Amino acid sequence: MILGRDVVISDHDIVGEWELKRISFRDIEELIEYIHMNLSNNPIIIAYNNIWRYTDEIFKRLRDRGFNVYTIDLVDINFEKMLSKTLSIEQIIKARLSRIRYSNVDKTPVKMSLNKSVSRKALLRAHVNVFLEYIYKPVVDVETCMMLPRCDLCIRSCPSKALDEKPPKVYYDKCVNCGICYSICPVQAINPPQITPRSVDMFIKTVRSFSEEPMYIIFTLFDKLKDLYFTDLDTDHQPTLIFPIQSINDLTPLNLLKFLFHGFTPVLLGELDVYLRRSIRELLSLKMILTAERPEDLKNILRKKIISKYKGASREVRDYVLQIFNEYVEKDLVLSFPGAGYVYVDDEKCTLCEACVRSCPTKALKILEYRDEIRLILSINRCIGCRECEYICPENAVKVYWYYKKGSEEEVLTRSNIARCVICGAPLGPEKMIRKIENRLRSLGDHEAIKYVRICDKCKTKLFYEKIFQ
């Protein structure tokens, strides 16, 4: 994505790799006027003491002027520094800016609200932009989506029928922002504007470049920040970060597990939506994710020592999921999201044609020859449960489940002896495939062709020439 230079607006001397605008505003209108007149298409942090008290007013006034408020984050300097304990305010700001910079806020859907009532003053200030309305709805990463050419999980799962075609087109008037498409996409190709896999990765990477200490991380709505500020949290709490979000449904199981893997214990502050509860039910039941309905409930949670430790970099595609499950789960677990995949192959139907291997976007499936045998192998830590192998299998022999299998890394899904040329002994392919071809020819009554099925091309050529020159 392309955004302007990072900007921090504050009345403090905050030193970092950004453009600092020092403004001591007398009233909120002065701050709004400065942002509207001087800044656009920039990741912006507004950093003041007690700034959360003005969250609603800042966002409302900027929206009224047609400004994209999703490029903005608010940092309460003293409160967040007190919560984090180990990070400086500059380090907190850098992490939060990285989240915006690597998000999709520049692709936030926008519509014209021509029926909007505006004052003459607002029209003179913002011109036609005053009629723009940025809407917080899904953004599709087309290139990532097309990694799975047959997948339509988001379309089939959308309760409001707001998605269609491939890559999915979003009908924003139908979308209720339930977040199901975010949680169910195996490659995380559809996301809310402020949170993408890349923005989460960069936020985590930035924080961990400063400290590897275990931390709580509180996910709460922007409009609930003022309630958090007025909460009397004692100094006995563990190191804690704030991660403001626009909607509780922005949170996905895969992103929450990524935070957990990197030593952050997620705390969801506020009432959970029914759709979110459904997508993270396994994480909640295993107490991998903590919840607090009210800010007052945080006091007891944040006092408890954090168990989760920073584990470093993940080695494989979904290795972070498996490592977390290995830590928390005692037995096999059925999942309600594509965190880990398990492939079942019908041994009677599979011919080891390798169509599934060629279609797998993460190379989780492979064919190996072992002595006189061909094996189909699943690397469990690479499988994302995308079902591409299931869709493409010509024999309907493959079924993919969202399933965590305790302690497994690789598994032999099916195997077959290697069929060999009856003349020279050269390998022809899996015995299962040769039998399939013979049965098909037999059903067609082509008994002459059956004679040549178990003869390699080289020997067939030799027989052909011998027949000609007899």
DSSP 408-441: -SEEEEEEEEEEE-TTT--EEEEHHHHHHHHHHH
Mean pLDDT within 267-295: 94
pLDDT of residue 470: 63
Contact residues for 418 (Cβ-Cβ < 8 A; gap 6+)? 369, 372, 373, 374, 427, 428, 429, 430, 431
* Cα distances (Å, whole numbers) of residue 326 to 190, 191, 297, 382, 408: 28, 27, 29, 15, 10
Q: Which three-class secondary structure state does DSSP give residue 75?
A: strand
Res. 235 pLDDT band, cuts 50 70 90: confident
Range of 453's domain? 421-468
Res. 469 pLDDT band, cuts 50 70 90: confident
Could you give the CA distance from residue 307 to residue 264 in angstroms, rounded to a whole number? 10
Contact residues for 80 (Cβ-Cβ < 8 A; gap 6+)? 89, 92, 241, 242
Q: Are 263 and 207 a contacting pair, CB within 8 Å?
A: no
Based on the fold, state whether residues 370 and 348 are members of the same structural domain: yes
pLDDT tens, residue by residue, 418-446: 999 999 999 999 999 999 999 999 999 98
Based on the fold, state whether residues 265 and 397 are members of the same structural domain: no
CATH, residue 412: 3.30.70.3270
Report the phi/psi class of residue 57: left, alpha or beta, with left for phi > 0 and alpha for psi in -120 to 50.
Answer: alpha
* pTM attached to this predicted model: 0.90
Whether the bond into 427 is cis, omega within 30 of 0: no
Q: End of a domain among 384, 400, 417?
A: 417
Based on the fold, state whether residues 25 and 105 are members of the same structural domain: yes
Mean pLDDT within 186-192: 97
pLDDT of residue 1: 47
pLDDT tens, residue by residue, 149-176: 999 999 999 999 999 999 999 999 999 9
Based on the fold, state whether residues 451 and 379 are members of the same structural domain: no
pLDDT tens, residue by residue, 402-417: 999 988 789 999 999 9
Q: Are 421 and 459 a contacting pair, CB within 8 Å?
A: yes
Domain assignment present for 128: yes
Of the listed ranges 24-33, 144-153, 342-351, the least confidently predicted one is 24-33
pLDDT of residue 232: 79
Domain assignment present for 41: yes
Q: Which three-class secondary structure state does DSSP give residue 243?
A: strand
Based on the fold, state whether residues 446 and 461 are members of the same structural domain: yes
Q: Which three-class secondary structure state does DSSP give residue 24?
A: coil
Q: End of a domain among 417, 445, 460?
A: 417
Max CA distance (Å), the chain: 106
Averaged pLDDT of the chain: 91
Domain assignment present for 2: no
Helices and strands, number each (H, E), in the chain: 20, 21
Could you give the CA distance from residue 404 to residue 345 in angstroms, rounded to a whole number? 17
Based on the fold, state whether residues 373 and 407 are members of the same structural domain: yes
Could you give the CA distance from residue 287 to residue 373 in angstroms, rounded to a whole number? 44
Secondary structure element (H or E) that encloses residue 277, with its range: helix 274-279
Based on the fold, state whether residues 413 and 395 are members of the same structural domain: yes
Of the listed ranges 56-65, 75-84, 164-173, the least confidently predicted one is 56-65
Domain assignment present for 288: yes
Domain assignment present for 180: no
Sort strands 169-170 and 139-140 into parallel, antiparallel or unpaired.
unpaired
pLDDT of residue 114: 54
pLDDT tens, residue by residue, 378-395: 999 899 999 999 999 999
Based on the fold, state whether residues 11 and 69 are members of the same structural domain: yes
Domain assignment present for 153: no
Could you give the CA distance from residue 256 to residue 300 in angstroms, rounded to a whole number? 21
Based on the fold, state whether residues 207 and 104 are members of the same structural domain: yes
Q: For the chain, how many structural domains are there in total? A: 3
Domain assignment present for 80: yes
Q: What percentage of residues in the chain have a pLDDT greater than 90?
A: 76
Domain assignment present for 176: no
Q: At what angle do helices 89-101 and 197-210 cross, to 10 degrees?
A: 160
* Closest residue by Cα to residue 26 from 14, 18, 34: 34
pLDDT of residue 125: 56
Based on the fold, state whether residues 101 and 226 are members of the same structural domain: yes
The phi and psi torsions of 333 (rounded to 5 degrees) equal -140, 125
Based on the fold, state whether residues 366 and 222 are members of the same structural domain: no
pLDDT of residue 425: 93
* Closest residue by Cα to residue 84 from 205, 210, 262: 210
Based on the fold, state whether residues 227 and 375 are members of the same structural domain: no
Could you give the CA distance from residue 392 to residue 398 in angstroms, rounded to a whole number? 9
Residue environment code for 308-325, b if the CB has 16+ CB neighbours within 10 A, otherwise e: bebbeebebbbbbbbbbb
Q: Which three-class secondary structure state does DSSP give residue 337?
A: coil
pLDDT of residue 127: 55
Could you give the CA distance from residue 79 to residue 303 in angstroms, rounded to a whole number? 17
pLDDT of residue 383: 94
pLDDT higher than threshold 80 for residue 118? no
366: its two tokens: 């492979």
Mean pLDDT within 126-151: 86
